[in-house]
Amino acid sequence: MAQLSYLSPSSVDDAVKALSGASARALSGGTDLLVQVRSGRAKPDQIVDLKRIPGLIGIRAENGGFVIGSATCGAMLSEHPTLSKIWPGIVEAANLIGSTQVQGRASLGGNLCNASPAADSVPALIAARASCVIAGPGGAREAAVETIVNGPGKTSLAAGEFIIAFKLPPRGPRSSDAYLRMIPRTEMDIAIAGAAVSLALDADGVCTSAFVALGAVAPTALLVAEAGQALIGSRLEAAALTRMEEAVRAACQPISDKRGTADYRTKIAAVLAHRAAVIAWNRAKEQA
Amino acid sequence: MSKQRTAAIVNGDPVEFLSDPGQTLLDVLRDELHLTGSKEGCGSGDCGACSVIMDGRLVCSCLVLAAEVEGCRVETIEGLSTGSTLHPLQQKFLDHAALQCGFCTPGILMASKALLDANPDPTESEARYWLAGNLCRCTGYDKIIKAVLDTAAELRQDRKSA
Amino acid sequence: MNRPVKPEDTGTILKVVGTRPIRPDGVEKVTGRAAYGADLHLPGMLIGKVKRSPHAHARIISIDTRKALALPGVKAVMTSADMPNLAAEHYEAGESASNLKDLSANVMARGKVLYHGHAVAAVAATSNAIADQALDLIEIVYETLPHVIDVEEAMAPDAPILHDQMFTAGLGETPTKASNIATKHRLDRGDVAAGFAAADVIVETRYSSAAVHQGYIEPHACVASYAADGQTQVWSSSQGHFVIRGLCAKLLKMRFSDVRVIPAEIGGGFGGKTTVYLEPLALVLSQKSGHPVKMVMTREEVFRATGPTSASVVTVKMGAKNDGTITAAQVDLKFQAGAFAGSPVGAAVMTSLACYDVANFEITGWDVVTNSPKVAAYRAPGAPNAALGVECAVDELAERLGMDPMAIREKNAVRDGVRAPYGPIYKNIGYVETLEAIKSHPHMSIPLGPNQGRGIAAGFWFNIGGESTVNLSINEDGTAIVSTGSPDIGGSRASMAMMAAEVLGIGVEQVRPIVADTASIGFSTVTGGSRTTFATGMAVVQAAEKLVIDLKRRAAETWGVDQDQVVWQDGAAHCLQAGKAPKGALTLAALAGSAGKTGGPIATVVALNAQGAGPGFGVHVCDVEVDPETGHVTVLRYTAAQDVGKAIHPAYVEGQIQGGVAQGIGWALNEEYVFSTGGVMENAGFLDYRVPVASDLPMIDAVMVEVPNPAHPYGAKGVGEVPIVPPLAALAIAVRHATGVRMHDLPLSPSKIRAAIDANAG
């Protein structure tokens, strides 16, 4: 770390300039970056702290949806009075990242851009159809969350680009989401598999839209279109759930590593998707 | 490589320190400010022995760069008691024998304080999940949880009678 | 849970022993003031760091340290060339004998590196950053060799050989071909062939467990200061500073009197800190640099280069009659020793059948070297591995016989008068009482729901006595200092003060216990082997009793009566002869204040080798729920009964039981060393080396059964190690009853359980 320097810009433009350097890394919560720098996996020359840029931390309602500053910590998400009611799946996913201590720092922006295939918040954001507001040398742009990560540890962001905020779309009545993951202990582990389901129901409880996204079963989080489609038009009867599980299993391309075998991950992804769908459906019925 | 200067408030006292850009808050607490109560158990945020409270949030000080602390309020184990009066959590830990080697104890006390500040009436399960980021290898957590729940009950009682 | 279960009432009323005073070192620990090894800072201190092998097995061709030494800020560099080349010599230290030549090569590789992470060189520099840079500048040329880590693979005839001069001992004839099997152990009794012939049912089964680490939260840390005249001081977080002194002195060929080891507070040990890793290196670096040197391991180094305990394979063949009498048992234990010989397989051989009165047995143990870190003691070393196999085999036998698991254990239980498998006749043991405590515990009547199962298992540990020295002195105001050489890893300071206070008849707050350094008190062996309350406690009691005799003499002199006219009661001398004591009783304070007039300071020392340590037995019952779709295991409830002799400080005895149970649960469910095909540990951190977290465990009900050991003044038996012995089997058996599947290979991770359920269904 002989060359390392630390910068804390107070404007988006200053941050863009600083991040345009070849060996600059954005710092949000630091719960991934600092571990990687210490282990030698990451060797940045410059660390650019985003947290003092106005708007990077905070949650606000906008245009019927929410805008979440990308450096907002997980604990703040769960403390927000309405976010957990409207997007319980996203909030519980973010709250599964690490420990209480990690929750006091870790952010959606960092979790996404660290680009681990097992990142807990990503499947829920994808299922929610969330988008990112990205700042860069070419100005600001928006992109769907599922376009950001293109491989383990790799993002599609260009030099100088960073995520300013996440946008959650407006939510109608009788809609909700859920996220479940499988870990060996009860806390603290990286997900062996994760599944997020976001759905909406009509007045009779029939599913009118559904999105299923998986984590830790492919190089990136996966949006499984067929799995969501299997639920549409159903009240989550056994046959619909079975079709969803088949679609989930077919979509998985996991590896076997020290955390789990490919076969196990595939089986569990289907189990988790089933259970998350049922939870989301029950939550949606409660939402007037 | 020049050092950077940071000013913060630690346990209520204004402090200034010099640090290398790569040094963490834990490094600075232990090596510059000589507050060795916060411990390094893993250096990667997995054990909680370095837990402190920063601007009201429980964090692992090994995952915070020293420079990030500029202008922040940091509370460490050294600030938990008032003069020679122990915080009720500290007293209950002693009463319940909720420590053996004592190495995880500072981190667990800070985490427990943050818990009771956020939730004065936790269930056993809520206490266990909140403290999941604090590893203890000696006690099996049993007496720790009992001490925390007992303290919560006592503090609620004090507030009622106050 | 709080009140110990007493099968007999001894009739003695104890005022201090058995109560729960606050520990004397408690305030400094809850305020963060207690000084552990890494907390010390000396003027001019340098930071020492170790360069470690990137290969699992390789010859060291050359080491060039010139560039490292030339880096500004680097004050010393060392390799094994800076340490004496020792002959093989056994030295009794810690919980096992060390071979000093092996130990020297483990702390700094000589000729060969034998595991990924093996120390090859070390530097001392003015900062962490410079020390790290210096390590990168050390140039080492290796010739890599094939490696082997799995214990059965290491035993195969074509396995890569770690030590050319290792010829298996214990085979009768010395072989001519080098092997990775260091020693074969064997314990026999009776005629197993006849025993099996007499059996109605025979079970043959195999169990395995992976290497696990003690997992203390404090990484190894020490500071060494070597003065120009050869006098040194070492501050070390260890379980036995006298053993640290002895090992450093032997490894570096120094006088014991020139090595003063000062015990820092220790953040967990569990056996893993009864040896040296950094201390000899810090001494050499301090000598070469002329400065004190601090060395602290990272968590990664702790995993890669210290401990762990042995991975093992245990095969059991056991036969029984239809009424449950076990007629014969054959146990074969293969233990991974790591890079050098010395796994705890010998103890495993001795303990494996220790709960069972079996007339015919054959127990074989294999100590096998492997390209993994040299194993270190871990809480009842060897016994949990053996108990996994034997207790599960007994459960399989019970199932085949249609017999209740408690009943089969009661049927074959050892009692007073039975000869232990390892030789002595059991006396004053409490195994049957401990079985009874579980049998009658409310836990056993709690109904189980779907996907839930209950597992019962027993366990044994010898507990040792050993050498302790205690200084006890009375201050001029009648307060006391009890000074021992036993580092406090579980609250023993409190117990020492309590026992001294009990004998002296004063309040425990009047007795200050301290742990003295190696220059301030005579020898004590390690705080380990569950010995401290027993052996050091025995010495404390004897010292207090000596002082009481002395105090009575002083009182008698003061009153002008014979000594048999004086009794000591409630902290004062009382005169039995009427009219001789005009001022009434003479308190300890009064006698202390006038000590100069009655012969001088009131102080004594007791140095002993405590005999008669009583073995301990534990019986555990565990309920689990297994999610059949994910294989996830939830521990619903856990009750651990243990024969503790006498609980001196019940809260700390409970703490030992609860802590040992938690470690056993981790060992059973999720902990394991995962090695890559290249021999590199893949999970060398607390993220993927999964010790139990608070939300993983329920409350652990610790039931203390008190069957006193008369060899100890208060009947205490060692308690620290027994509790880790039963959980491995208890969890495996519980999972069996929750899922219908017998899991043979620990850890019981969810993916393995799911796979086993699927295989069983298909």
- ipTM of model: 0.98
Can you list the alpha helix ranges (DSSP code H) found in C125-167? 128-137, 151-155
Is the pLDDT at C10 greater than 50? The verdict is no
CATH code, A5-49: 3.30.43.10
Chain C contacts of A261, Cβ < 8 Å? 751, 755
Q: What CA–CA distance (Å, rounded) separates C113 from C54?
A: 9
- Spatial contact of A224 and A251, defined as CB atoms under 8 Å apart: yes
Interface test with B, best of A101, A103, A105, A185 (most B CBs within 10 A): A101
Provide the pLDDT for residue A148: 98
Provide the pLDDT for residue A126: 98
Provide the pLDDT for residue C96: 55
Omega before C292 within 30 of 0, i.e. cis: no
Provide the pLDDT for residue C1: 36
The minimum CA-CA distance between A177 and chain C, rounded to whole Å, is 22
The minimum CA-CA distance between A257 and chain C, rounded to whole Å, is 10
Q: Which CATH number fits domain C465-610: 3.40.50.970, 3.30.1540.10, 3.40.50.150, 3.30.365.10?
A: 3.30.365.10
The minimum CA-CA distance between A103 and chain B, rounded to whole Å, is 8
> Cα angle at B40 between B35 and B44, to 5 degrees?
135
Residue-wise pLDDT tens digits, C565-600:
999 999 999 999 988 888 899 999 999 999 999 999
Chain A contacts of C754, Cβ < 8 Å? 264, 267-268
Provide the pLDDT for residue B135: 98
Provide the pLDDT for residue A288: 66
Is the pLDDT at C6 greater than 60? The verdict is no
Is the pLDDT at C95 greater than 60? The verdict is no
Pick from C514, C405, C415: nearest CA to C736: C405
Chain A contacts of C692, Cβ < 8 Å? 185
Chain C contacts of B134, Cβ < 8 Å? 694
- Spatial contact of C57 and C144, defined as CB atoms under 8 Å apart: yes
Domain B88-161 CATH class label: mainly alpha
Q: Does B104 touch chain A (CB under 8 A)?
A: no
CB pair distance less than 8 Å for C687 and A186: no
Give the confidence band of C327 by pLDDT, cuts at 50, 70, 90.
very high
Can you list the alpha helix ranges (DSSP code H) found in A131-224? none
Give the confidence band of C5 by pLDDT, cuts at 50, 70, 90.
very low
Provide the pLDDT for residue C516: 96
CB pair distance less than 8 Å for B47 and C686: yes
Query: What are B90's strand-pairing partners?
Result: none
Interface test with B, best of C304, C634, C693 (most B CBs within 10 A): C693
The minimum CA-CA distance between A267 and chain C, rounded to whole Å, is 8
Provide the pLDDT for residue C464: 85
Length of chain B in terms of residues written:
162
CB pair distance less than 8 Å for C695 and B142: no
Q: End-to-end CA distance of chain C, in Å?
A: 44
CB pair distance less than 8 Å for C692 and A264: no
Residue-wise pLDDT tens digits, C664-722:
999 999 999 999 999 999 999 999 999 999 999 999 999 999 999 999 989 999 999 99
Tokens of A208: 């009118």
CB pair distance less than 8 Å for A184 and C630: no
Chain B contacts of A2, Cβ < 8 Å? 1
CB pair distance less than 8 Å for C751 and A192: yes
Residue-wise pLDDT tens digits, A119-138:
999 999 999 999 999 999 99
Pick from A21, A30, A78: nearest CA to A50: A30
In this structure, what DSSP letter does residue B93 have?
A: H
Is the pLDDT at A196 greater than 50? The verdict is yes
Interface test with C, best of B104, B126, B142, B148 (most C CBs within 10 A): B142
Residue-wise pLDDT tens digits, A33-45:
999 999 999 999 9
Q: What CA–CA distance (Å, rounded) separates C265 from A218?
A: 47
Q: Does C721 touch chain B (CB under 8 A)?
A: no
Interface test with C, best of B100, B113, B130 (most C CBs within 10 A): B100
Provide the pLDDT for residue A272: 98
Q: Which residue of C lies nearest to A98 if distances are taken between CA atoms? A: C687
- Spatial contact of C302 and C213, defined as CB atoms under 8 Å apart: yes
Give the confidence band of A260 by pLDDT, cuts at 50, 70, 90.
confident
The minimum CA-CA distance between B78 and chain C, rounded to whole Å, is 6
Q: What percent of chain A has pLDDT over 90?
A: 95
Write down the pTM of the prediction.
0.96
Q: In whole numbers, what is the pLDDT of chain C averaged over residues?
A: 95
Residue-wise pLDDT tens digits, C709-738:
999 989 999 999 999 999 999 999 999 999
Q: Is C1-11+428-459+616-762's fold the same as C465-610's?
A: yes
Nearest CB neighbour to C694, from listed B96, B105, B141: B141
| Region(s) of chain B under CATH 3.10.20.30 | 4-79
Q: What is the mean pLDDT of residues A189-199?
A: 97
Tokens of C272: 């893993």
Provide the pLDDT for residue B109: 98
The minimum CA-CA distance between C114 and chain B, rounded to whole Å, is 25
CB pair distance less than 8 Å for B41 and C685: no
Give the confidence band of B2 by pLDDT, cuts at 50, 70, 90.
confident
Tokens of C119: 């120390």
Domain A59-168 CATH class label: alpha beta
CB pair distance less than 8 Å for A75 and B57: yes
Q: What CA–CA distance (Å, rounded) separates C239 from C237?
A: 7
Element at A18 (helix H, strand E):
helix A12-19
Q: In whole numbers, what is the pLDDT of chain A averaged over residues?
A: 96
The minimum CA-CA distance between A39 and chain B, rounded to whole Å, is 9
Which residue type does C709 have?
A: N
CB pair distance less than 8 Å for C268 and B137: yes
- Inter-axis angle of helices A262-286 and A238-251, to 10 degrees? 140
| Number of CB pairs, chain A paired with chain B, less than 8 A apart | 94
Provide the pLDDT for residue B38: 98
CB pair distance less than 8 Å for A186 and C754: no
Chain A contacts of B44, Cβ < 8 Å? 35, 38-39
Is the pLDDT at C136 greater than 80? The verdict is yes
Nearest CB neighbour to A99, from listed B67, B68, B132: B132
Give the confidence band of B137 by pLDDT, cuts at 50, 70, 90.
very high
CB pair distance less than 8 Å for B45 and A51: no
The minimum CA-CA distance between C676 and chain A, rounded to whole Å, is 9
**Residue A154 CA, distance from chain mean position:** 15
CB pair distance less than 8 Å for B38 and C687: no
Chain A contacts of B64, Cβ < 8 Å? 30, 34, 105
Q: Which residue of B lies nearest to C699 if distances are taken between CA atoms? A: B142
Q: Does A180 touch chain B (CB under 8 A)?
A: no
Distances (CA, A) of A196 to A126, A210, A215, A271, C519: 8, 10, 8, 12, 64
The minimum CA-CA distance between C634 and chain A, rounded to whole Å, is 9
- Spatial contact of C272 and C297, defined as CB atoms under 8 Å apart: no
Q: For chain C, which residues make up each domain, given as ranges? A: 1-11+428-459+616-762, 465-610
Q: Which CATH number fits domain C1-11+428-459+616-762: 3.40.630.30, 3.30.365.10, 3.90.190.20, 3.40.50.300?
A: 3.30.365.10
The minimum CA-CA distance between A224 and chain B, rounded to whole Å, is 31
Residue-wise pLDDT tens digits, A197-216:
999 999 999 999 999 999 99
Interface test with A, best of C629, C675, C677, C752 (most A CBs within 10 A): C629
Q: Which CATH number fits domain A175-286: 3.30.390.50, 3.90.400.10, 2.30.110.10, 3.20.20.70?
A: 3.30.390.50
Residue-wise pLDDT tens digits, B81-123:
999 999 999 999 999 999 999 999 999 999 999 999 999 999 9
Residue-wise pLDDT tens digits, C252-310:
999 999 999 999 999 999 999 999 999 999 999 999 999 999 999 999 999 999 989 99
List all residues 6 or more positions away from C308 whose beta carbon is below 8 Å from its beta carbon.
Answer: C211, C212, C213, C214, C338, C373, C375, C376, C378, C673
Q: Which residue of C lies nearest to A192 if distances are taken between CA atoms? A: C751
| Number of CB pairs, chain A paired with chain C, less than 8 A apart | 56
Three-state DSSP at C460 gives: strand
Residue-wise pLDDT tens digits, C226-240:
999 999 999 999 999
Provide the pLDDT for residue C3: 40
A 104-133: CB under 8 A from B: 104-105
Asked if CATH classification 3.10.20.30 holds for the domain at B4-79, the reply, yes or no, is yes
Pick from C410, C381, C399: nearest CA to C660: C381
Nearest CB neighbour to C695, from listed A186, A260, A268: A186
The minimum CA-CA distance between A35 and chain B, rounded to whole Å, is 5
Residue-wise pLDDT tens digits, C349-403:
999 999 999 999 999 999 999 999 999 999 999 999 999 999 999 999 999 999 9
Residue-wise pLDDT tens digits, C403-427:
999 999 999 999 999 999 999 999 9
